[in-house]
Amino acid sequence: MQTNDKQTLIKTMDIQSNLNEVRTQLPPQVRLVAVSKFHPNEAILAAYEAGQRIFGESKEQELSKKQASLPADIQWHFIGHLQTNKVKYIAPYIAMIHAVDTYKLLAEIDKQAAKCNRVIPCLLEIHIAEEDSKYGFSFQECREMLDTEPWRELTHVAISGVMGMATNTDDQAEITKEFESLHRFFTELKDTYFAHDDRFKEISMGMSHDYLLAVKAGSTMVRVGSKIFGERVY
């Protein structure tokens, strides 16, 4: 065996054991999005061979390349900030869009999904972190959007829940407080706008360093990258 093959083999085994470790920590109702951004197809295939089917990516070009060359039964989730002019490229195949942070983006997804005869599940990204660098609606902006925009007329998107990122900190109490605030907001939106819509059910929260806290706070979907695939090389 050549050195390169050996390295690939070691990497494959690492990825599969990391994946299994994360899986054993998740209750059955929590789905795992394996965040494969910046990792090559071989890494994704290693996880795929261990049974993983949901993968998360955050760049349209990188995702479209991977989607074209990897198994067709992979469910691709777009987890990053999405520009409206990129929606048309992913609309034919994307399984879920996690970070919808404007009505304009939601309307564009609806328009492109209609062209493909699809209904695309979307999550509303809510800003819960202390840091103000990140995207997302504030609680109030999200209420206002749902109160004033004609989102009920969009028949090719399914607003399926909320997504958020906690502050990047070691302060577990702070992270928990933020995740709990997202869970409460999810419940408020469910009761106020989506009480009769079974599709509104997801709380996407939790990454490599905080997914256990997120699960405790009621996450239904964790997005874990480096804990499975190793550090990203940008």
- Cα of first residue to Cα of last residue in the chain, in angstroms, is 29
Interacting stretch for ligand PLP, rule CB under 6 A, among 68-76, 102-110, 142-150, 224-232? 224-232
Cα atoms found within 13 Å of the Cα of residue 77, Cβ hemisphere only: 26
8 A C-beta contact, residue 89 and residue 108: no
**Side-chain-facing half-sphere of 160: CA atoms under 13 Å:** 17
Counting residues that bind ligand PLP (by CB under 6 A) gives: 12
Specify whether the CB–CB gap between 91 and 113 falls below 8 A. Answer: yes
Between 16 and 208, CB nearer to ligand PLP: 208
Least distance to ligand PLP, CB of residue 80, Å:
5
- Output the DSSP codes for 74-105: -EEEE-S---GGGHHHHTTT-SEEEEE-SHHH
C-alpha 119/C-alpha 104 separation (Å) is 17
- Please identify, among the stretches 24-32, 174-182, 191-199, 221-229, the one whose residues bind ligand PLP according to the rule CB under 6 A: 221-229
Stretch that binds ligand PLP, among 40-48, 82-90, 177-185, 223-231 (CB under 6 A): 223-231
Site string for ligand PLP, 50-79 (x = CB under 6 A): --------x--------------------x
Query: Which listed residue (12, 16, 80, 193) binds ligand PLP by CB under 6 A?
Result: 80
- Indicate whether 121 belongs to the interface with ligand PLP (CB under 6 A): no
Residue whose entry in the numeric block shows the structure tokens 């902006």? 141
Q: Are 155 and 110 in contact (CB under 8 A)?
A: yes
**Is residue 127 a contact point for ligand PLP (CB under 6 A)?**
no
Residues at the site binding ligand PLP, with contacts judged by CB under 6 A: 35, 37, 58, 79-80, 207-208, 223-227
